[in-house]
Amino acid sequence: MNKLSFNIISKLNFDKELEEAKDKIDRTILDRYQSIIFDLDNTIWNCFTSRGESTGAYKTEPPYKLQSRGVVVDIKGNIIELQEGVQELLEILDLTDKNLGIVSSGEKLIDVNRKIGLPSAAQPSVMLLKKFDLYKYFNLGVITKAFINKREYIKGIGKVLFIDDNNEQIQNVNEREDIDVLNRKSFNNWNDLLRKIY
């Protein structure tokens, strides 16, 4: 196969993927928004200690190892597990040109009293997003900030949807009239968001 025909096939494959992604998102709740902002812990992934207790991604430590698709283990044996369907969904959202961002309170601090955190690139959550190869999707940025009131940090283009599992943050963000909020606890699986609702 020469390079030209290879390029044509790549283009055809991309067109097909794009068409399929558009069909999947069509008439779903996500179709109504231009920007979607996600929380991390217990929203797109779940973290456990080696003893199976729930923990936060900010408490994990590099180096990270991809154990299987969607499962990363850190040096202490903590396990970070992507929620079912989230990888596929992010890919669909990216293909359909949605603007995606992360606003998380999971920040690793180097000075707790002065609330000084590690630089972004060294934040466990950022490193984990890169390890899962998801970081590339978040064109609106990845914010990790301890003691955050998320209401003040959510920015999007056009109509914005925010998805989080924390009741306090949900209530806070709900006060912003320009943002719709979806409780992560209101649906079981990320595939549920691809139901045709209108």
Total chain residues near Mg ion (CB under 5 A): 5
Closest CB 83 distance from Mg ion, rounded Å = 11
The region of 2-10, 35-43, 86-94, 136-144 touching Mg ion under the rule CB under 5 A is 35-43
Find, among 71, 125, 98, the residue nearest to 193 by Cα: 98
Q: What number of other Cβ atoms are within 10 A of residue 99's Cβ?
A: 20
CB nearer Mg ion, residue 87 or residue 105: 105
Length of the chain: 198
Closest CB 189 distance from Mg ion, rounded Å = 17
Contact flag: residue 107 with Mg ion (CB under 5 A): no
Do 101 and 155 contact (CB within 8 A), yes or no?
Answer: yes
**Among positions 31, 81, 165, 180, the unique one binding Mg ion when judged by CB under 5 A:** 165
What span, in angstroms and rounded, lies between the C-alpha atoms of 68 and 51? 19
**Among positions 28, 42, 46, 96, the unique one binding Mg ion when judged by CB under 5 A:** 42
CB nearer Mg ion, residue 38 or residue 64: 38
Q: Which helix (H) or strand (E) holds 172?
A: helix 167-174
Question: Which DSSP category does 27 fall into?
Answer: T
